[in-house]
A and B are shown apart, each in its own frame.
Chain A
Amino acid sequence: MTLLKVEGLDKVFGQHYALSGVGIEIEPGEVHALVGENGAGKSTFIKIMTGVYTLDAGTVEWKGAKVDIPSPAASRKIGINVVHQDRHLVPSFTGYENLFLGLDYPANKSRIGVNWKAMKRRAEQLKNDFGVEIDLNKTADRMSPPEKTMLEILRAMMLECQLLILDEPTASLTDQEAERLFALIGRLTAQGTAILYVSHRMDEIFRLSDRITVFRNGQKVATVVTETTDKDSLVRLMSNAEVKKSQKRSGKAQTGERALELNGLSTKDGMVRDVSLNVGKGEIVGIFGLAGAGRTELLEAIYGLRELKDGSIAIAGRRSNAPTPNRSLENGVVLIPEERKRDALILGMSIRENMTLPVLKRFSGRLKLRSRAERAEVAAWMQHMDVKAAGSEQPVGQLSGGNQQKVVFAKALLSNPVLFLCDEPTQAVDVMTREEIHRLLKTQADRGCGVLFVSSDLQEVLDISDRLYVLHDRRIVAELDNDGVTAEQVLGYCYSHGKGSGHHG
């Protein structure tokens, strides 16, 4: 009998369909892979199956009977469990305590204390059943990444779990560590547990899965039997056929001079590895990569928010050793961070105070700030950027998202940049603002600025960049002149450099 059968599933956020008419069937004991680009709807689907979101339309059948999944507890109760890439363990608890999180601890004779012996017996039995070797006396913060993953899977198996969802389970594992996970997956399926395996890594998908379902733009494109398909046809299914081929921008201000040049850049934390790239003056360069490829980290390393280990950075031909945000600003580098409220704005301060913070030096007299000059400049920029507000003294926390983003850009422009680093510049803004931001970036390039931007929206990258780099697993895997590039090509680079393709260190 089919374990899970989903039909006609819709999920709507505001005006936007995150999922529309999605269906999937999962058999007991199979490994069913779920693939798709960023934003294809994989996470939303998982959240509906685990009771985090409720569905707006459609039916879910579990072992032939219609079910509702109104809460995470309900999903666990019928036998669906998920292991996320960011782990959900209590760091200071031992393995045993983490196993029993959210369950009733077995009580001892006094009915007040905990029966630790029974807990341990149960846990040891579970370990034996699945052949897992971990020391459950250790606290979770002292466990290695694979031990934590194993512990989470064990925890899922505490309650008769029949469908285990693994969301990018190998993201933080080395090859050998991943092998242990794959062996465990084998034992689970042998006992009849179905696995929904969500991953970007093609090698793993082809090695482990029985069938593959492809999502694209919130819709199911196809379910294919793994043996009958190959990587190329899968990438073709994933990439949006409607995406237009890119067209090259005139790039009139390009002079051949470099705004930015990176040579073999690596960070101490290993989030950026041996990256070499360049951005010309007057050029817009896009960086595309899947989630976790190290996109944000690369921009932060250039700007000076991450400690460097190796390599060099040159801004407009001048070498910049050990950059700090302060020095970067002096060299004309600005960063538009991804998390606007966290990293770009001080919500309690006024528009004026936010805009001029990076360039306070310019308004500093011998002792005091020259407030008349400051106010005049801020007023001019507010008009130029068409910021809708009650005045320059209004706290930015009271503005709409689009207007906040305009303040962020005005703040960047105030320091006369030669290089723009933009991290997801159009995330969570409406279409109008998005167009305005694209136009603004182009204007800056035409003025002779270099623009390096990161986006998880492939269409956006193909639309506005002159050249693009593909980032995978913290490295650059391809450089493409953006003239006639297709989405399929770009995604091909992302997926063909999976784990085990040779250069994993």
Chain B
Amino acid sequence: MVEARAGIPYVKLIRTYGTVAAGILIILAFSLLSPDSFATIDNAINISRQISFLVMIALGATLVMSVGEFDLSVGAVASFGGVFAAKMAVAGYPIWLAFLAPIAVAFAIGFVNGWIVTRFRLLSFITTLAMGTILGGLNFRLTGGATVFENIPDGFRYLGQTEWAGIPVLSFIMLLLTLVFWYVMSHMAFGRKLYAVGGNESASRVAGVKVEKNKNMAFALCAVLAALTGILMASRLGSAHPTAGDGLFLSAYAAAFLGMTSFKEGVPNIWGTFVGAAIIGILANGLTILEVPTFMQDVITGCIVIAAVIMQKLGRGKA
């Protein structure tokens, strides 16, 4: 029985590393099609900056997915973070405060998301959808619907626009956060508990895991990551728009779902999400270089997510 379950080794290999392999194939294909502009060091650095926002926000989505919930407010929280930070910087508050205050508020928003879901046993889907709508409205109230760009101090742009040793600070932040959350999820008791709650809530409760507390924390951290993403976007652009982060939300879940198909099969995991976000970013970059229109990029990205999830389901069904 044990042997039969383990399956033929290569099936398991494909299931575990299939998505990574697909990513490498995509890179090879673009490199052949466009050796001069795609396969260059400059473009690699460029891609690392382009995916940094998606990776950060998708890390948060992964945390919430690991406890078996969804947070659909991440896009609105990101927009909120950017707008709030920009407004504070314009109002003359110190930059560090302009960055930290929205993060603290986001922590509270995420915690409230979690509290509503756990206290009243509501679907996180609906709760966070409503929270996102509320924040979307507030974002317009804060900005009057216009982009915030006048009188933004230079220091506000530092993190978003500076390069260290030729590599964007954003890319460093992305890598650092990925490493930190990988460590949290695989080597700390907190991560183990999150996975336990997502795996079986009832059994986790019997085993003494404080289910509600851990879920609330996952939601809070997710919102923090979303707000940070929005702040860094504003820093990169030197301006903040009330819907700047909204579009990231769908890609964030696409990345997390792609990630579930790699490394730990069927389980949201940090490196998987990183790979998922990278694949989406590389596709966008490569297709743009090949002058494929943006709407076709969306079609292709969507198809790849569906294909990956089907592959994974099929692989499992046979096991």
Contact = CB atoms under 8 A, between A and B. Distances in A.
B208 to A, nearest CB: 4
Nearest to A389: B2
27 contacts: A303-B206, A305-B206, A326-B209, A326-B210, A328-B208, A342-B202, A343-B206, A345-B203, A346-B199, A346-B204, A347-B200, A348-B199, A349-B199, A353-B195, A353-B196, A357-B204, A357-B208, A360-B189, A360-B192, A360-B193, A363-B189, A364-B189, A367-B187, A368-B187, A369-B189, A371-B187, A390-B2
B141 interface: no
Most buried by A among B188, B210, B266, B267: B188
Interface in B207-252: 207-210
A363 B193 CA distance: 13
A301 to B, nearest CB: 14
Interface in A410-438: 411
Given A325-B208, A342-B203, A344-B206, A357 B196 contact: yes
Interface string B171-211: 00000000000010001110011011001101111111110
A62 B183 CA distance: 69
A398 B207 CA distance: 20
A357 B192 contact: yes
B5 interface: yes
Interface of A: 303, 305, 325-326, 328-329, 335, 337, 342-349, 353, 357-358, 360-361, 363-364, 367-369, 371, 389-390, 394, 398, 400, 411
A335 B189 contact: no
Contacts of A389: 2
Contacts of A369: 187-189, 192
Contacts of A358: 207-208
Most buried by B among A346, A369, A389: A346
Contacts of B267: 348
Nearest to B5: A398
A337 B202 CA distance: 11
B202 A368 contact: no
Given A328-B208, A389-B2, A367 B203 contact: no
Contacts of B206: 303, 305, 325, 335, 337, 343-344
A353 B192 contact: yes
B14 to A, nearest CB: 19
B8 interface: no
Contact of A325 (B188, B200, B205): B205
Nearest to B200: A346
B16 to A, nearest CB: 14
A429 B138 CA distance: 58
Contacts of B208: 325-326, 328-329, 357-358
Most buried by A among B1, B200, B266: B200
Contact of A348 (B192, B210, B266): B266
B2 A357 contact: no
Nearest to B199: A346
A358 B5 CA distance: 28
B106 to A, nearest CB: 24
A400 B189 contact: no
Contacts of B209: 326, 357
Nearest to A342: B202
